[in-house]
Structure 1
Amino acid sequence: SVHSCTKETSPFDPLLIESKTAATVVLMLSSPEEEVLAKACDALYKFASKGDENKVTLLGLGAVEHLYKLISHEDPVVRRNAIMVFGIMASNHDVRKLLRELDVTNSLISQLAPEVRALNVIPPLLELLKSEYPVIQLLALKTLEVISKDRETRIILGESKGLDCLLKILETNEFSDLHVEALAVLANCLEDVHTLQLIHQTGGLKKLLSFVGVSTVPSIQKNAAKAITRAAYDSENRKILNQEEVEKCLINLLEVDNDGVKVAASQAISAMCENLASKRAFGLQGIPQLVQLLSSDNEEVKEAAVTALANLTAASPSNASAVAEAEGIEPLVNTLNAQRDGAIANAATVLTNLAMQQPFRVNIQSRGIMSVLEEPLRSTNSQVQSKAAFAVATFGCDADARTELRSAGGLGPLVELLHSKNEEVRRNACWAVMVCASDELTAVELCRLGALDILEEINLSTGCKNNFSEAALEKLLDNNLSQKYSQMGYLSSSNIIADGFYDCGQIKPGVKFLSLEELSMQELTDRRAIIFINAKPQEE
């Protein structure tokens, strides 16, 4: 018999593939196997290097889009081989056009970050900044921006006089088209205390802030504010920025006619508030501008401004007074109807910070705060729920405010929050119920809505009970003495029995406590009589 000696051929065999098998190899770029991907890229590299016609063939087969996904692949060999194919194909005009559309440059630059440092690439990159070709300067800056996200690289950049180089670009008007990118590199450097101190000591920080002060380019102003925000996450950085009076710069940015700049400046103020000296400085000058921003048509601006006010007024009575003096109370109450959850939560926070001072609390209550809080109490966002319940606890110490909440239908959603799985929401809701249970009408309504049953359930669970849950239950029972006596079997010395009290005997846990009306509708039985106290003289 004749045996067949032919063996199967793969598209990689021989590696110099022909046009007819190129389509098969391009399909293999979707393989989940790293070895297949690496070999496919290698084969395409050899195919593309044979001439321009082959590059056009690969372009038509969609190879560029597949390779684009592979340049950020987790396997370094696959990454390298894919980038090599791009390198050879980029000599074709049509391929270059598609690479620009896909914005491949930024992806390629990001691949440099891990190895640059090791290659000591910073000095040659700084040399490229002196190039007479703007496109080379731009790419050098973009590369520096990516690699300066690494702390060690930032130190090398400082030691290589790179910071001076970047500041010179900012000081030179002819380089205005490079200012945004130069600022982006400096923004990375500001995050690092060591580098920020270096810029500060050489007078660079003063130059940078004055550059931002005179710039009229919104993207530069916005990026500068974002850089300050990132730097301000570190306490040492905040001290340095405060020494350079960064507050003046940020307050000026609040008045720029650009929403993005206003948002970024407000966020930077929020971050700098952690420094007490900054907090005082903003209180003296920045609060009126932030209050004005509460009336912005832009919801993002509104949210950023009210968040800054929440940070400024936290544990600062003088800043709270400044908000009230800037006529901020009315716009703050209006912000409780904002569209963004962050704006609503922070508006509630500012109002509770102001309410620590009696005259402001009275002013806020006169604007119907309790009826406005009814909607935030129904929110599905736990931050909004928590802050709204906290506000109810703050303002609920006033009898008129409790009546207002009851009339607005706010007790129902408040009781619902007792069910929350979020510990902070549950605690604040318990606190609010405890405060609102101070008068009998509200306590009775809370019991009717099921608050007692839920609180009993909470208190039985060691994981759910909190400082306020037991106190809230006791307060509710103290204003429902008939139920307290029925459930507990005793009353305390401060509990005064009045007309309307009835004793229906002790009920077992889990059994519903019936109202007097419900009991009166039951048929007579031979069980013990229900004792009802009614000392009023009967009318004729």
Structure 2
Amino acid sequence: MGRKSRKDSETPCKETFEPLPVESKTPATAVLLLNSPEEDILVKACEAILTFAEKGDENKASLLALGALEPLCRLIVHNNKLIRRNAFMALGIMATNGDVKSALKKRNAIRSIVEKLSPDEDTVVHEFATLCLASLSVDFVCKVQIFDNDGLPPLIQLLSSPDPDVKKNSLETIFNLVQDYQSRQAVQELGGIPPLLELLKSDFPVIQNLSLKTLQSVTTEKIARTTFREEQGFEKLMDILNNMDFSDLHADALEVLANCLSDSDTVRLIHQSGGLMRLIEFVLTPNVPHIQCTTVKCLARMAMNTESCTVLHEQEVEKVLVELLTVADVSVKTSVCQAVAAMGVYPPSKGSFSELGAVPAVIKLLSGDSLALREVATQALSVLTHGNEPCALAVYESEGHEILIQQLCESCPRTVASSAATLCNMVGQEIIRSSILSLGIIEALVEPLKSTHTQVLVSATLCVAMLACEKEAREKFRTAGGLQPLVTLLHSNDKEVLHNACFAVNVCASHSPSAVDMCQYGALEILQEISQSVNRRNNFSELAMTSLLNSNLSAKYSMTGHLSPTDIITSIFYDPGKARLGKRILTLEELIQQPLNQHRAIILVSATTIETRGAAEERRGSRSEADTSNKKDRKTPRKKKEEDKQRDESQSESQIVRPQNMNEDVSLQMFIKEARESILLIDNEQEQCATLARLVSEAMGGAVPVEKLYEFSWTLHLSQLKFQLKSNVVPIGLIRKGIYCHRALLFKCLADCIALPCSLVRGEYNRAWNEVLLFSHDNSRSPSQPRRFIVDLMHQPGNLLAVNTPAALQYQSI
């Protein structure tokens, strides 16, 4: 027998299942029922979950762990309104839990929630949908998602909902959103300000409070403030401020008003309506610090406008503020100092503050424990002392300058900046400047120069520039290590910092050791770059460059190739050769330390024993009437040859100096002595130049005909000196075979010693020459007409070549 085959399919049962009552005592069962296909079951399951979630955070977390979130997010878009409503209620209650919010953010449920804010949706759905958004909008990412999914327009529409809970939740969401600029702008563009103002009339304090807080954020934008004023927002605020039943709203209303008072139109409006007097009443309200703080903030905002300052001054607001400086509450005193700083910019108010004793009262606040109070108090002092000598003197008499110097070491950049600015405002008075310098301000300013805070650098550099006019201060600043950070600031891209740094460098450069140090730190190279920049160049950068070069003649000659008659060599001078673009000029110490090389010798003029120009002129002025008899005693050629022989012997025996004795150039001292004795007695300047030229020529090998110049073995002589010295630096007094550059430098040095004005000019290929300005005695010219001459030191020593003549041009070039 064959087996019976089973039917492939059976006909399904057409009878329905009898209703089955379900009772469950576990949330897991309710969560399971959220996946049921039966709508009645879904309704009851959502209700059960809502009831369970309302009992506390633990239950909400438990439902999240059981997986209730996924089906609920699906059910909020169900076609059945009742299911949709119950699902939203359950989801809204659960969303108040932090873990649930995090899970919702990951599920990207915001789009679905926003879609259900449409006007045709059930009010209960609106209530719990906005509750979800209010909870989620605390998170930055969720705020962006709400904005990107066009959540603001329906939320603004729901501000007019008849349901107070919908209003409250919508307001809370908008408040969270407007903390960001794009949402603030959107609220204004979408017409959100009128409904916000309308909610100020609500019977619910929480809605009024949220409306004010939202307006606080929105009115930080100028366009929104204009709309606020046009929609009679100011009048609505004054209604609240004039109603003592709304005292709990006064602080928030004043915050909104403070924003609006930065516009002169609103200030004019408040003054005309008598609102200013109401504000002053709030300021004087005792024992309400937070109201006083906010009201003073309003006054500070008003003071940002000159027209408003006039109004405040006419109402004698300065007197009210000075009285508040003595209250006990720190927050009130902090706000008052901010208002004093704002009003102190207005000269009449500054005068009033001075007369009312505001300065001593503010200085007392510098000793407090509050960092914020010290910051704003110092700022107030910097404003009051700016351009006002009585206020600066009041700070000094109250010993405030001592505290300000101590505050230069504060950690708060704004406190440091304001302290330096105040001290800078005070140093114009001699007695104050002396006292400030004695308290170690120079040393205290070094650390602020290393700051990265722009305003600190602006104030510190200006303070250094103002104080460094004192010679002692410049030396202290150099010793304290302030020059290197100052030079570093020349790299700043901030125009004000760069301007002040150049100013300070210019002042410090008048101190020769400081100028040398700054050159060592690369100041000249940086200033060169600045001078070539259209955007960074300024007046002080050029002055700083000039001052540095004038105080460091070695660098000046290296960079510019020119020393004028006013550039007097009175100290150590060396010629390192023509400077290379972008390369730092090495100091003499650095050059001495270099190993012997094949490069040109560094010529050293050790002028530590050279008489100053003033002394030389005095010596010249004190010549006796017995010049004629003295002229008879001038050295004869024989005597001169004997002295030259003596000098050569001295050099051969003891004048081959070592690097550590570079300053002892005995030969140079003998040249100087000889120049004084033989030339100062000559009356005629032309003859003086000629005589000095012959002296220099004889000292450096004598006259050399042009055609035999190539036979003049000066390079071998310099190489031998370098080898004997074991140094690349050669004192000029040791050179017995020198050409143009060596002779011109020696001529300049000797001329400076005897007060004979001349310049030194560098040419190409070891050429250098001296220019002198002499009165011509040609018959063709007036005796009073001065002419420029180049002094021949090589070929016909003593010959004066008129500038730009063929002979002069031939002497200057190969």
Equivalent in the alignment of 1:5: none
Q: List per-residue Cα deviations over 1:149-201 (Å, max 9, x = no partner).
A: 63344355489x646634432xx4x6543432443454455445444444434
The answer for the alignment partner of 1:417 in structure 2 is: 489
Q: What's the counterpart of residue 364 of structure 2?
A: 292
How many Å separate the matches in 1 of 2:499 and 2:562?
Answer: 27
For the residues of structure 2 that align with 1:108 and 1:457, how far apart are their CA atoms? 49
Which of these residues, 201, 216, 225, is aligned with residue 150 of structure 1? Answer: 225
Distance 1:216 1:455 in 2: 59
Instruction: Give the structure 2 partner of residue 6 of structure 1.
Output: none
Please tell me whether residue 168 in structure 1 is matched to residue 242 in structure 2: yes
Q: Does 1:349 align with 2:424?
A: no
Residues 293-312 of structure 1: matches in 2 within 5 Å? 293-312=365-384
The CA deviation at 1:476 is: 1.5
**Matched residue, 2:656:** none
Corresponding residue number in structure 2 for 1:262: 333
Partner residue, 1:220: 291
Query: Which of 593, 605, 611 is equivalent to 1:532?
Result: 605
Pairing 1:408–2:483 present: no
Matched residue type, 2:337: S
Over residues 401-460 of structure 1, what are the superposed CA-to-partner deviations in whole Å (9 max), with x where a residue is unaligned?
Answer: 111111211111111111112222122111111111112121122122222222222223
Does residue 391 in structure 1 map to residue 463 in structure 2? yes
Residue correspondence of structure 1 range 72-111 to structure 2 within 5 A:
73-74=146-147, 78-79=151-152, 81=154, 106=175
Matched residue type, 2:293:
K
SS of the equivalent of 1:374 reads coil
Sort the Cα spacing of 1:235 and 1:15 in 2 relative to 1 into closer, same or farther, 3 A.
Answer: farther
Query: How far apart, CA to CA, are the structure 2 residues paired with 1:516 and 1:436?
Result: 21
Q: Do the aligned partners of residues 482 and 280 (structure 1) sit closer, same or farther apart at CA in structure 2, a change above 3 Å counting? A: same
| Cα separation, 2, equivalents of 1:227 and 1:535 | 67
C-alpha distance in 1 between matches for 2:312 and 2:433: 35
The corresponding residue for 1:200 is 271
Moved more, 134-143 or 421-430: 134-143
- Kept after mapping to 2: 8 A contact 1:402/1:436: yes
| CA 297–505 in structure 1, closer or farther in 2 if over 3 Å, else same | same
Residue 557 of structure 2 aligns with which residue? 485
Kindly tell me: are residues 531 and 112 of structure 1, through their superposed partners in 2, closer, same or farther at Cα, counting changes over 3 Å? closer
* One-letter code aligned to 2:283: V
CA distance 1:481–1:192, change in 2 (3 Å) = closer
1:459, 1:470 within 8 Å by CA — same for their partners in 2?
Answer: yes
Alignment-mate amino acid for residue 409 of structure 2: N
Matching residue of 1:495: 567
Which blocks of at least 5 consecutive residues in structure 1 are unaligned?
Answer: 1-9
Matched with 1:433 is 505
Q: Counterpart of 2:135 in structure 1: which amino acid?
A: E
In 2, distance between residues paired with 1:378 and 1:29? 46
CA distance in 2, matches of 1:163, 1:64: 26
Q: Distance in 1 between matches of 2:135 and 2:476?
A: 62
Q: SS at 1:214's partner residue?
A: coil
Amino acid of the residue matched to residue 504 of structure 2? A
**Quick one: distance in 2 between partners of 1:270 and 1:531?**
57
| Aligned-partner Cα distance in 2 for 1:333–1:507 | 42
Any conservation in 1 of the 2:143–2:177 contact (CA below 8 Å)?
no
Deviation at 1:231, TM superposition (A): 1.7
Change in CA separation of 1:152 and 1:498 when aligned onto 2, cut-off 3 Å: closer
Verify: 1:248 aligned to 2:324, yes or no: no
2:407 to 335, 353, 362: 335
Deviation (angstroms), 1:29: 7.8
Amino acid at match of 1:530: I
1: CA distance between counterparts of 2:401 and 2:442? 14
Closer, same or farther: CA 118–530 of 1 in aligned 2, 3 Å: closer
Please tell me the residue identity of whatever aligns with 1:288: P
CA distance in 1 between partners of 2:441 and 2:283 (Å): 40
Residue 519 (structure 1) shift:
4.3
Do the aligned partners of 1:320 and 1:353 also contact (CA within 8 Å) in 2? yes
Question: Is the alpha carbon distance of 1:89 and 1:288 closer, same or farther for their aligned partners in structure 2, counting shifts above 3 Å?
Answer: same
More helix by share: 1
Conserved 8 A contact 1:263-1:301: yes
SS where residue 274 of structure 1 aligns?
coil
CA shift in 2, pair 1:467/1:238, >3 Å: same
Q: What is the alpha-carbon distance in structure 2 between the residues aligned to residue 525 and residue 140 of structure 1?
A: 84
Q: d(CA) in 1 for partners of 2:155 and 2:239?
A: 34
- Does structure 1 residue 281 correspond to structure 2 residue 355? no
Range 218-227 or range 487-496, more displaced: 487-496
TM alignment of 1:41-190, pairs within 5 A:
41=117, 49=125, 65-66=135-136, 69=142, 73-74=146-147, 78-79=151-152, 81=154, 106=175, 115=191, 128=201, 150-154=225-229, 157=232, 162=236, 165-169=239-243, 172=244, 176-184=247-255, 186-188=257-259, 190=261
CA positional deviation for 1:118:
5.5
Amino acid at match of 1:304: V
Q: CA deviation at 1:324?
A: 1.7
CA radius of gyration, larger in: 2
SS of 1:483 mapped into structure 2: helix
- How far is the alpha carbon of 1:263 from its aligned partner? 1.7
Matches of 2:144 and 2:516 in 1, distance apart? Answer: 67
Give the RMSD, CA atoms, in angstroms: 4.4
Shift of 1:391: 0.9
1:39 and 2:112 correspond: no
Q: Provide, for residues 87-112 of structure 1, a one-character-per-residue CA deviation record: whole Å limited to 9, x for no partner.
A: 899879xxx9xx69x96585599998
**What pairs with 1:310-325 in structure 2 (closer than 5 Å)?**
310-325=382-397
The question of whether the paired residues in 1 share the 8 Å contact of 2:462 and 2:501 is answered with: yes
Distance 1:210 1:451, change over 3 A: same
**Offset at 1:381?**
1.1
2:775 matched residue in structure 1: none
Structure 2 unaligned runs (5+)?
1-73, 96-102, 179-183, 610-663, 670-814
* Cα distance change of structure 1 residues 157 and 188 upon mapping to structure 2, 3 Å threshold: farther
Q: What's the TM-score once normalised by structure 2's chain length?
A: 0.54
Aligned counterparts of 2:107 and 2:342: Cα–Cα separation in 1: 46
Q: 1:342 to 1:461 in 2, by over 3 A?
A: same
Q: 1:453 aligns with which of 515, 522, 525?
A: 525
Contact 1:379–1:385 under 8 Å retained in 2: yes
Task: Say if 1:48 and 1:88, in contact at 8 Å, map to a contact too.
Answer: no
Tell me, yes or no, if the aligned pair for 2:241 and 2:247 is still in contact at 8 Å: no
Shift, 1:515, TM fit: 3.7
Name the amino acid aligned to 1:269.
V
C-alpha separation in 2, matches of 1:181 and 1:348 = 36
Structure 1 position 238 matched with structure 2 position 309 = yes
Q: Which amino acid aligns with 2:508?
A: C
What percent identity do the matched residue pairs reach? Answer: 36
Deviations 1:10-40 (A, max 9, x none): 9757474857998999999879899766435
In the aligned structure 1, how far is the partner of 2:400 from the partner of 2:300? 25
TM-score normalized with structure 1 length: 0.79
Does the CA-based 8 Å contact 2:116-2:125 persist in structure 1? no
Q: Is the 8 A contact 1:48 1:89 kept in 2?
A: no
Give 1:200's aligned amino acid.
H
Separation in 2, partners of 1:350, 1:183: 32
The 2-side partners of 1:164 and 1:65 are apart by: 32
